[in-house]
Amino acid sequence: MSPTLIPLSSNDMWILSPEIAMTALALLVLSLDFLIKRREIIAFVSVFGLAVPAGLLAWIESTPNHPVYGFYGMYTIDNYAIFFDFLFLLIGAGVVMASYDFVQRYMRSSGEFYALLLFSLLGAMLMASSRELITVYISLELTSFPLYVMAGMLRKDIPNDNASSVRSTEASLKYVLLGAMSSAVLLYGMALLYGITGSTDLGEIAVALQRGFSGGPNSIVLLVADTFIFAGFGFKISAVPFHMWAPDIYQGAPTPGTLFFSVASKAAGFAALIRVFAAGGLLNAGSFYLWGFIAIAAVATMTLGNIVAIAQSDIKRMMAYSSIAQAGYILVGFTAVAYQPSNQTGISGMLVFLAVYVITNIGAFAGIIAFANATGSEQLRDFDGLFRRSPALAFGMILCLMSLAGIPPLAGALSKIYIFVTAWQEGGLLPWIVIIALINSVISIAYYIGVAYRIFVKNPPREDRLRVSAAISFALAVSVAGIIAATIFFQPLLNFGVSGAQALLK
């Protein structure tokens, strides 16, 4: 192909319109911050501005026979991408609402935080839609760079912790260094893959791998490429053994940032991971070793996350390990997909689980942020007797934690059953992995109920009533309502996830 300017069609612009709207919104928020330093307006614009890309998405989705591919197949807006795009927009709204007071009090910069958040989400949306390795990589970097800054944005110490702003800076530095390394690993893997197949387009890679290549399915080069790519995304989703950054950075970062890492980075990582491995045909071409590698990663991720979480005394560290464990459950679904790549069930299980996890985690972190706003503490022991200091906050938090623990009948339990069922029905070794996952669920009860135990059973250090601001109450209430709605109307969510999975493997 000659290096001339490739003409773009209006279709390309149309399917990219949600992302364009997102860019405009982020720039608008940035300039608003520059022009008028009014936090309420900026937050308002950020949340309600998300309606524009959401509306565009809904419009595209509802248009029959809308173009699915653009930019010569490099970019797609299939149901899989739409599923994730909506998830990312939801994350945006949730995090902005949950961070409203915290940003003012401890970060002293509202506009920047929101603009960074929107840019990161833009990257995440691109990640879900990319069908080409370079685009995937660039989107990944666009997602990650704002995160590095957000981790270091704590400018003022939390009252009960004198070193918190220092730790925030440290977290930021660690995040940059480790993030850069993981990007390098990912790129290496992609380069190897390009070397094998001669293409960076996922569709062409799949075709090339299916056609056969030197070394065959057991080729060491392919296995190394798979492993490196998995490692690169594994960093984003905090899969063991690439999870080391999570606890330190979760603890050090300002809590709204932590919330954002735990949902957006994870969802984006999974979005790209699944697309590259499934649409790129890596799973089809993969050997038993690849499956074994993924299975071991899944088992190690959930087991380590759950066991180490029990010993934590800082709630953010605990939530970090909890999020590692949850990633492990999702990887159980991925193990099933790797086992039987043509099957869409495992992918739909992962999507549904991820969506419920996102909704729930926003609620749990909204509770933590509200608590930090009111008391200035993020230590687990300070949650003692929270129920008497603020029943509504305590109720919301307990509900979210129970859903994360997978206590029936909450949505967390349903999505967990669903993902386990999708894995179980593949047969072979999968039922054993599900049994390990079930044992893990039992272990996880210890720390999730442990927090509920502190909140409800223990005596509070002080009898005062905690003041919770309207914005964060709203975020928590929406999350709780979301969990209950996802419980009762689990079927529509499931249909959405299934359609996403089917689009991916068409």
Partner 1 sequence: MSWLLTILVFLPTVGALAVMAAPRGLSRWLSAVFTGVVFLLSTWLYIGPMISSGGNAAVFGNVSHPYWVDQAPWINVAIGSLQLKIDYHLGADGLSIFMLILNALLTFLAVLGSGNISKRQREYMALLLLLETGVMGVFCAFDLYLFWLFWEIELIPMFLLIAVWGGQRREYAAWKFVIYTVLGSAVMLAGILLLYFNLGSQTGVYSASFNWLATHHVSGNLTVLGLTMSSQLIIFLLIYTAFAIKLPMFPFHTWLPDAHTEAPTAVSVLLAGILLKMGAYGLIRICVDFMPSGAHQFAWPLAILGVINMVYGGLCSLVQSDMKKMIAYSSVSHMGYVILGVAAAVGPGATNPAFKEAALTGAALQMFTHGTITAMLFFSVGVLYDRAHLRDINAFGGLQAKMPRLTWIYSFAVLASLGLPGLSGFVAEYLVYTGSFSTFPILVGVAAFTVIITAGYLLWMLKRSFFGPLNPKWNGITDASILEMTPLITLAVLVLFVGVFPQFMINLLHPSLNNIIQTISGAVTASGR
Instruction: Write out the residues near partner 1 by the rule CB under 8 A.
Output: 342-345, 348, 387-388, 391, 402, 407-409, 413-414, 417-418, 420-422, 424-425, 431, 434-435, 438-439, 441-442, 445, 449, 452-453, 456-457, 490-491, 494, 498, 501-502
Smaller CB separation from partner 1, 256 or 460: 460
Pair 285, 222: CB distance under 8 Å: yes
Smaller CB separation from partner 1, 287 or 343: 343
Tokens of 326: 């949850």
Smaller CB separation from partner 1, 55 or 409: 409
Which residues lie closer than 8 Å to 44 by C-beta, 6 or more apart? none
Smaller CB separation from partner 1, 323 or 348: 348
CA-to-CA distance for 364 and 352, rounded, in angstroms?
18
HEC letters along 282-296: HHHHCCHHHHHHHHH
Smaller CB separation from partner 1, 214 or 342: 342
CA-to-CA distance for 32 and 41, rounded, in angstroms?
8
HEC letters along 346-399: HHHHHHHHHHHHHHHHHHHHHHHHHHHHHHCCCEHHHHCCHHHHCHHHHHHHHH
The H or E element containing residue 69 is strand 69-70
The tally of CA atoms less than 13 A away on the side-chain side of residue 205 is: 31
Fill in the amino acid letter for 220: I
For the CB of residue 15, give the shortest distance to partner 1 in the complex, in Å: 25
Smaller CB separation from partner 1, 122 or 452: 452
For the CB of residue 474, give the shortest distance to partner 1 in the complex, in Å: 19
Smaller CB separation from partner 1, 169 or 343: 343
For the CB of residue 396, give the shortest distance to partner 1 in the complex, in Å: 13
Residue whose tokens read 């850069």: 180
For the CB of residue 445, give the shortest distance to partner 1 in the complex, in Å: 5
Angle at 54 between CA 49 and CA 60, to 5 degrees: 140
